[in-house]
A and B are shown apart, each in its own frame.
Chain A
Amino acid sequence: KAGVTQTPRYLIKTRGQQVTLSCSPISGHRSVSWYQQTPGQGLQFLFEYFSETQRNKGNFPGRFSGRQFSNSRSEMNVSTLELGDSALYLCASSFGSGLANLPYEQYFGPGTRLTVT
């Protein structure tokens, strides 16, 4: 089975611009979660999507948004980029939703390295 794929792998943007990142989960997985990884803050949860609905959101400003399509692929968007948004953005896929009774393993993609200048 193919793993989680993310595009693009690298991105350089200027302050004030916006960016869209894409994630394709493992085939059959319906839940996609997004995380931001920085040297100072580590890995922080952004949001989770399941069946095209946002189920949970982390403590990030409204400039960070996302969506999920009917084929479970997900995109996240960051508007009005700031220097502090420079990070590795990781997408994780799992079979079930966090609302289910059973815990599900989450598998990560290779990430998109975003640099804001």
Chain B
Amino acid sequence: EDKVVQSPLSLVVHEGDTVTLNCSYEVTNFRSLLWYKQEKKAPTFLFMLTSSGIEKKSGRLSSILDKKELFSILNITATQTGDSAIYLCAVGLQGAQKLVFGQGTRLTINP
């Protein structure tokens, strides 16, 4: 069975800290790995990674994929209270638009 596991499930840090969120996966036909941020309703797309070792970056957020070890990390530097959200990792499969999601990491940034 395809499986995506995120850790930690919950994280509380102070504004300005750097955080690293983890995502490991076991799927039969990997095609891509996606990160989303979910605040109130719709998950907002952050990154899609398909190649190992290539870092994707957007402002204070960055992510990298390791296809050999089957994991990805999402880094957020100089965190702000607006970064508080649930961060979802999802794996896209070959031959389908189906995404297999992890449980999410609830990140809380305290001022």
A contact set with B: CB distance below 8 Å: 4, 31, 33, 35, 42-45, 48, 50, 55-56, 58, 88, 90, 92, 94, 97-99, 103-111
Name the interface size band of chain B.
20 to 34
Is chain A's interface secondary structure helix, strand, loop, or mixed overall? strand
Query: Within 8 Å CB of B43, what residues of A?
Result: 43, 90, 108
A98 touches B95 (CB 8 A): yes
Which 4 interchain pairs have the tightest Cβ spacing? A98-B97, A103-B32, A98-B96, A43-B101
CB distance from B88 to the nearest CB of A (A): 7
Q: How far is the CA of A45 from the CA of B48 in the complex (A)?
A: 18
Q: List B contacts of A90 (CB < 8 A).
A: 42-43
CB distance from B101 to the nearest CB of A (A): 4
Using a CB–CB distance below 8 Å, which chain B residues touch chain A? Answer: 31-32, 34, 36, 41-45, 48, 50, 88, 90, 92-93, 95-104
- Are B98 and A56 in contact, with the CB atoms below 8 A? yes
Nearest-Cβ distance from residue A10 to partner chain B, whole angstroms: 11
> Given A56-B98, A103-B32, 7 more contacts at CB 8 Å?
A31-B97, A42-B103, A56-B97, A90-B42, A92-B99, A98-B95, A108-B43
**Contact A106/B99 with A43-B88, A98-B93 known, Cβ cut-off 8 Å:** yes
- Chain A nearest CB, measured from B34 CB (Å): 7
Query: A48–B48 contact, CB under 8 A?
Result: no
Give the nearest-CB partner of A91 in chain B.
B42
B42 pairs with A108, CB closer than 8 A: yes
